[in-house]
Amino acid sequence: MDDPALHTLAQRIAIARDERDGGGPSTGPAGSTGRSGTTDSTGARSPILVGITGSVAVGKSTLAAGVASALRDDGRVVEVVSTDGFLWPNEELNRLGLAMRKGFPESYDRDGLASLLRAIAARGCGGMVIPIYDHFRYDVSPTERHVLTRADVVVIEGLCLLGPGAECASGPIAEPLDLTIYVDADAADIEAWHRARFVANARRAAAEPGGFWDLFSGFDDASLDTAAAYTWDEINAENLRSHVLPGRGDADIVVTKAADHSIVGIHPNPEH
């Protein structure tokens, strides 16, 4: 991806690593003290940990992939981890009465996510095994796992990184992160992106049966739009207001997107 904005973010991440390893000022999330780069058994520096968060459908995964590509262009080894893999499996969510709270902080294995980040910060990421979320099944895969390789940068993208509820018994989940990025956009644009993605996923069910989206395979356009609006109003908009948006003030950098998904601003967080 040859997007100047992505290379700007890649440069900011490289600066954060230099500051950390050189003993410069902390670039950790608000309230953290930062950390000096530790080394693993081979003497390699632990990777810099970058968190990317923001609303459902705002483009966190796309931004993470783009930033990772820009960093690789600069010769860095990068791993990308989604917090989706730390959602409780659907069976457990149903048992806990949280099926309609998917994406809210309580729907995540927050202790597991926090433990992973602390372990990477302390020992590096080589050989660590990460759960994978299956978007086709709309559930954590019971069998698939991703084994991380040793990396210069680990990008953690998803919900439950900042804001109320993004914490566990050991403290804030974001504490080990060296740099946090909040992806921002107008709420009306985010809703439109969510609804378009919902409808597109449901329409694909006819060609790709056997997954979660089969539930909507017989819906006409009006019914699909109604279902998309419901999931936004009753689940994702509430999560944005109550948990995601309040975390914006804790991020180091705010990336602002326009209605066409283009990046129109990359700024140090004025609330930080």
| pLDDT band of 32, cuts 50, 70, 90 | very low
Q: Is residue 259 part of a domain?
A: no
Residue 209 CB coordination number (10 Å): 10
Q: Is the pLDDT of residue 206 over 80?
A: no
Q: Is residue 272 part of a domain?
A: no
Q: Is residue 137 part of a domain?
A: yes
pLDDT tens readout for residues 122-152 = 999 999 999 999 998 999 999 999 999 999 9
Q: Is residue 260 part of a domain?
A: no
Q: Is residue 234 part of a domain?
A: yes
Q: What is the DSSP letter of 241?
A: I
In whole angstroms, give the CA distance from residue 141 to residue 181.
27
Q: Is the pLDDT of residue 42 over 80?
A: no
If one counts the domains in the chain, the total is: 1
CATH number, residue 28:
3.40.50.300
Q: Is residue 170 part of a domain?
A: yes
Per-residue pLDDT, 29: 43
Q: Is the pLDDT of residue 176 over 70?
A: yes
Q: Is the pLDDT of residue 1 over 90?
A: no
| pLDDT band of 33, cuts 50, 70, 90 | very low
| pLDDT band of 31, cuts 50, 70, 90 | very low
In whole angstroms, give the CA distance from residue 57 to residue 249.
20
Domain membership of residue 217 as a residue range = 4-254
In this structure, of 3-12, 131-140, 205-214, the range with the lowest mean pLDDT score is 205-214
Q: Is residue 12 part of a domain?
A: yes
* Pairing verdict, β 263-268 and 48-54: unpaired
In whole angstroms, give the CA distance from residue 107 to residue 101.
7
Q: Is residue 264 part of a domain?
A: no
